Amino acid sequence: MPALILPTARLGHSFAAALREFQTEGRGGPDDRSLLGNLLRDAGPPDGTDAWIERVLDFEHRLTTDPPRDFVPATTYWWTEADIYLGRINLRHRLNDDLREIGGHIGYDVRPTARRRGHATAMLAAVLPRAAALGITEALVTCDTDNTASRKVIEANGGVLEDERGGKLRYWVPTAT
């Protein structure tokens, strides 16, 4: 059974291989302002070396303990099975104005070679109790209007559409089952 874990050096090689898959699909370029893009720029080429994984862990640790200006504290979990990295999900501990408008409480991605197997749906379900533990009773989860897969993931987890803003659908997902 896949499970959520905190980022760990033990799976560094698997995570590096996943990031190379994301690069192959065009992520991590200068215009990629996503967390994944920031990580790829911050930690450097995903070569799986000890130094590289240390930079990845440091990047993730700082998101929680010392977030960049205009960011709220957040925790990244890895979705893994049998020591294989499958995906990641980032849980923001609270909303700020930008997150309330566009970004939401939770962001996620599944590595290209693991898609269409239900991982994103299961990963979002698995993180909801952790959001509840932070006092979040309804998590705001957003996706691009044309991101059919993500829309289905959110709706499968009980998301209720509030509205569309700036090209994003904004859903509220109850965190308690």
Contacts with ligand COA by CB under 6 A lie at: 107-110, 115-121, 143, 147-150, 152-153, 156
Select 22 or 52, whichever has its Cβ closest to ligand COA. 22
Select 77 or 108, whichever has its Cβ closest to ligand COA. 108
Select 56 or 89, whichever has its Cβ closest to ligand COA. 89
- Classified as helix, coil or strand, 117 is coil
d(CA 78, CA 156): 20
Least distance (Å) between residue 50 CB and ligand COA: 27
Least distance (Å) between residue 73 CB and ligand COA: 20
- Residue type (1 letter), 121: T
Least distance (Å) between residue 122 CB and ligand COA: 7
Task: Compute how many other C-beta atoms are within 10 angstroms of the C-beta atom of residue 43.
Answer: 21
Least distance (Å) between residue 79 CB and ligand COA: 9
| H or E stretch covering 42 | helix 35-43
The residue count for the chain: 177
Provide the pairing of β-strand 106-110 with 138-144: unpaired
Least distance (Å) between residue 21 CB and ligand COA: 10
d(CA 124, CA 161): 16
Q: Which residue, 31, 27, 28, is CA-closest to 42?
A: 28
Select 49 or 168, whichever has its Cβ closest to ligand COA. 168
Least distance (Å) between residue 112 CB and ligand COA: 8
DSSP code per residue over 7-27: --GGGHHHHHHHHHHHHHTTT
Select 151 or 175, whichever has its Cβ closest to ligand COA. 151
- Classified as helix, coil or strand, 59 is helix
Select 64 or 121, whichever has its Cβ closest to ligand COA. 121
